[in-house]
Amino acid sequence: MSVVRYEQEDHVVILTIDRPEARNAVSPAVAVEMEAAMDRFEADTGAWVAILTGAGGTFCAGADLKEIAMGNGDKLGTPRGGFAGFVSRDRAKPVIAAVNGHALAGGCEILLACDMAVVADGIRIGVPEVKRALVAAAGALFRLPRAVGPARAAEMILTGDPITASEALAAGLVNRVVPAERVLDEARALAARIAVNAPLAVQASRKVLARALIDDDATLFNASLEAFMSMIGTEDFQEGPRAFIEKRAPRWTGR
């Protein structure tokens, strides 16, 4: 039985970790299937935005401790995708986390690997690894400081204490906080706002955005110019101005 569901609604793909009996903890099967799902999403020219969520009112409990106890900890990731087949994957298209339950440990690191997040108002977000003599090794130690600032990240990482959804919103870690029953709908609405735009321009912009807190200004100026130049000659580059002049919605092809 599949543990990662792949569904598509127009140009939006919904990826659902489907192990509610284990609070959607990452198993070897989740890692393999998530990488395959991301391969499918990236390869499909008609899929422009993805939403990543969990089944059964839970987001992801992080690593499956039963698998770790059985000696399978090294199988909870993939060579290309890292933990869950996702956190270190090189990708072009935006992914929105729809967080309908607590995002702790590896679950928090999956959230941090996404581009945006819509979260339920009663959840907690954190990296409690130090409370169990562990280290957060799937991105939190460097992505969390970029997201919330070094001081707040240090407190979260070194105490292991989580923050609330409202605190995450105030810190800039997430985009929306809504009642749990509205999380997926809000994520869909955000994805739809992205999907009305030219997909190649979104991808080129995201590529620079992903390096914004890593590279220096000179490098980023060059990357921005390269991104702009990459649009010239595409069908969508011609369609955008034409639709504006003709006072109609553009018909993007992704070419």
| CATH architecture entry for 199-245 | Orthogonal Bundle (1.10)
pLDDT at residue 68 in the model: 86
- Burial letters 78-99, b for 16+ CB under 10 A, else e: beebbbbbbbbbebebbbbbbb
Beta bridge partners of 98: 118
Domain ranges of the chain: 4-195, 199-245
- Tell me the pLDDT tens digit for each residue of 176-203: 999 999 999 999 999 999 999 999 999 9
pLDDT at residue 46 in the model: 96
CATH class entry, domain 4-195: alpha beta
From 227, 172, 164, 162, select the one nearest 200 (Cα to Cα): 227
CA distances in angstroms from 203 to 6, 111, 114, listed in the order given: 21, 19, 14
Amino acid at 11: H
- The whole-angstrom separation of Cα 73 and Cα 250 is 48
From 38, 53, 147, select the one nearest 93 (Cα to Cα): 38
Give every residue of the chain whose pLDDT is below 70, as ranges: none
This prediction has a pTM of 0.95
Type and span of the H or E element at 52: strand 49-54
pLDDT at residue 254 in the model: 86
- Tell me the pLDDT tens digit for each residue of 7-16: 999 999 999 9
So which residues are the catalytic ones? 109, 129
